Structure 1
Amino acid sequence: MKLQRKHVLAAGVAVVATAAVAVGTGLGFADSAPTGQSVCPGSITFSAEGGAPAATSNQFPVGTRLRVTNLDNNKAAEVTVVGPSGSCVLLNSAAMELVREPGKNVIRRNVVERVGGAVAQPGAGRPDAVGDRPGSVSPPAGRPAPRSACQGAITFFDEAAGPAATSNQFPAGTRLRVTNLDNNKATTVTVTGPSGSCVLLNSAAMEQIREPGKNLVRNNTVEVLR
């Protein structure tokens, strides 16, 4: 009788545990943590773009849905790629607010996951929409712009140092000239380490070329100096 009672109790515990797992999964707890390897290496930063949470990318087409998780506070945001940029993923202001830590403009420890399929965006693929895309380059009249070594918009990260940059394309020590084609201001920087962007300027470099109040340089060229 005692042996039989032990089997009954064990079976009851197993049923309760199975039910608890089923309830937890139904509530979404099982999906709250990153499940795989990040599809974007390096730090994540943001642009001053307004609107609902969104992102731009040089790796994923318009309409791609991404989940970005800040591993330092376990906050996550799901965003849709709305255009090209110079980063694997560049969040806009609203998306960054969802995942950032107070006072920090860079997420160094992160996981980026691709979620589901692409969502069609209005105007995607229209030839007349090319000039409106983030990062489209229109050189000043009468002077053709040199071929840029990086495509898309350029932004920056907050760092108290002399003008410099990080990159996912060029090794440390590479010298780059970055020109803002909207005001013809240029800065020469040395790559000091890796990031999630083709070129990500630091604060001092951005101050040398930015237009007042703008945190993004859309029309630009990046040249590798020998």
Structure 2
Amino acid sequence: MPRLSSGRHRKRATIGLAALLGVSGVTAAAIALSSPASNAAEAPKENCGGLDTALQNNLDFIAGQQANPDAQSAARIANRQAVVDLIQQRRVVAECTANVVANNGQAAPAQQAPAQQAPVQQAPAQQAPAQQAPAQQQDQNGAATGDVVCAGSTVTLSGEAGAPAASSNQFPAGTKLKVTNLDNSKSTTVTVTSVSGSCALLNNAAFEQVREPGKFLIRRARIERVG
């Protein structure tokens, strides 16, 4: 009987934490899969609609670069293909079956089971603190600062239009992220509006605020959760 009670307590703690933090299906899945008390049968699957949308957006971007290439197209396509591969791995885990294609009819690469599922399922090392709204502070210029997340991540653009915004595989919609390009000290604070395969994927308007001329990837970035 003590073992059964302990198992119920762990299960309730996992569900309670997900509800308290208001996480989306993506983050709730990460929490459940990272818990020692969880197993593949109990873990909720990610939302296929969000993953399919993120996949199509990236396929559209690649198709556009292939249709109108320039000197930087090869690097952009390689970077975005890495994002496509990660999304495809997560769609396999979530058992998504839709045939996702770019707007020009180009099909997505064949879905393959990920060689290493553990990195996909693992939550960030400091996930619980990261999900809590940090007490906002200010830097020397009076700008809001917060908890640094996804250390070492690069930042690129999604190719999406609209007001400055971001998509993420770590944070639910409504989360505010401050992205700083350490190579030119430019920053932008954006709201997460959708799911992607990166910690922070900026749309065109947001990327223009921090980019260096002629570059489509920020290799030295600081990402902070500020709300």
What is the TM-score with the length of structure 2 in the denominator? 0.43
Structure showing greater radius of gyration is 1
Higher strand residue share: 1
Higher helix residue share: 2
